[in-house]
Amino acid sequence: MGRRKKGDPVSGWVIVDKPLGVTSTDTVSRVRRAYNAQKGGHAGTLDPLATGILAVALGEATKTVPFIMDATKTYRFTVRFGIATDTDDREGVPIATSELRPSDHEIEAALTCFTGEIDQLPPRFSAVRVAGERAYDLARAGEDVTLTPRRVTIHEARLVGRPDADHAEFEILCSKGTYVRSIARDMGEMLGCRGHIAVLRRTRVGPFGEAEAIPLDKIWSLGHSAADTETLSAYLCPLETALDDIPALAVSEQEAARLRQGQAVMMRGRDAPILSGSVLAMHRGNPVALTEYERGELKPVRVFQLP
């Protein structure tokens, strides 16, 4: 007999508005404890310096994390011109300064170089692995860190504000793996004035935006009364929200049972003409399995064991 898991079989997504100074790991831990969930994870690290959307998966929703990690992300951020730091953000040690300040026109012109597919060098203080070690661990130990540029996509980039000569506010829509700190660093170098991230906020991850986000403190403040439990349940987005771009297909109770056991289901031609690739099998409105349609069969790829 397998060991019984601690906690409740809670499954779904909690979209957290992460506050300043809290790690992504600590955020997941707090949400998991608030729900007394058996397991939890997140769909993309948000630095302690950053605020905004952290999509937290609980229970069976953790099986859908890769789909949200692959989704596009939107950030609003402020660049401080005139100072470069070793971490490319305001918490780092200044390593270069400049008295030059760019004009709005110069900034707009530079932005065109940060749109589309670009090769981006991650910050020295980042979670990228170098010879099996995290880059930030090597950097903190004083070791030389040699990083390799990575191809990322900036779908949209625009200047949204200019509070003063030292600062500029931006918004970008980008692919996974994009480092906003690298954009600030590289833009500062391109403009000849240096720069780093002063403020960073993630406003959207895939289907999840600020409208769905709940402040972490609000979640953490709830107890276990009936009213609080009801409120927590209301914050929980269905597991299948992460799969909103995958076609869904209703299956029978017998077919659902087969899929849950890891067995393929023959479609008998009834839906075959409209199916291809990934298909979400549903039974009575509940997700059963993420499947792959191939040669007239639905083959389970990820099975969801929901109560």
Question: Do 158 and 270 belong together in one domain?
Answer: no
Question: Do 191 and 91 belong together in one domain?
Answer: yes
Whether residue 228 lies in the annotated active site? no
Question: Do 188 and 94 belong together in one domain?
Answer: yes
Q: Is the CA virtual torsion 293, 63, 234, 20 positive or negative?
A: negative
pLDDT of residue 14: 98
pTM for this prediction: 0.90
Q: Which of 221, 240, 245, 241 is nearest to 231 (CA)?
A: 221
Question: Do 190 and 291 belong together in one domain?
Answer: no
Catalytic residue among 17, 26, 47, 245: 47
CB atoms within 10 A of CB 237: 17
CATH number of the domain bearing residue 297: 2.30.130.10
Question: Do 45 and 77 belong together in one domain?
Answer: no
φ/ψ bin of 234: left (φ > 0), alpha (ψ from -120 to 50), beta (otherwise): alpha
User: Distance between CA atoms of 39 and 28, rounded to whole angstroms?
Assistant: 10
Full residue range of the structural domain in which residue 272 is found: 246-303
Does residue 7 belong to any structural domain of this protein? no
The count of structural domains within the chain is 3
Read off the tokens for 269. 């031609």
Read off the tokens for 6. 């601690």
Q: Which of 122, 119, 57 is nearest to 88 (CA)?
A: 122
Does residue 115 belong to any structural domain of this protein? yes
Question: Do 95 and 193 belong together in one domain?
Answer: yes
User: Distance between CA atoms of 27 and 50, rounded to whole angstroms?
Assistant: 13
Question: Do 182 and 212 belong together in one domain?
Answer: no
Does residue 135 belong to any structural domain of this protein? yes
Does residue 6 belong to any structural domain of this protein? no
Q: Are strands 214-215 and 12-18 parallel, antiparallel or unpaired?
A: parallel
Read off the tokens for 48. 């302690």
Question: Do 184 and 213 belong together in one domain?
Answer: no
Strand partners, 290: 280, 302
pLDDT of residue 128: 67
Question: Do 116 and 67 belong together in one domain?
Answer: no
pLDDT of residue 169: 99
CB atoms within 10 A of CB 262: 10
Q: Which of 183, 164, 185 is nearest to 173 (CA)?
A: 183
Question: Do 107 and 154 belong together in one domain?
Answer: yes
* Mean pLDDT (10-residue bins), the chain, 307 residues: 69 97 95 94 92 98 95 98 95 96 98 96 71 65 74 98 98 96 97 98 97 94 82 94 91 94 82 72 94 88 91
Does residue 87 belong to any structural domain of this protein? yes
* DSSP count for the chain of H helices, then E strands: 8, 20
> Who contacts 254 (Cβ-Cβ below 8 Å, separation ≥6)?
none
Question: Do 159 and 79 belong together in one domain?
Answer: yes
Spatial contact of 242 and 207, defined as CB atoms under 8 Å apart: yes
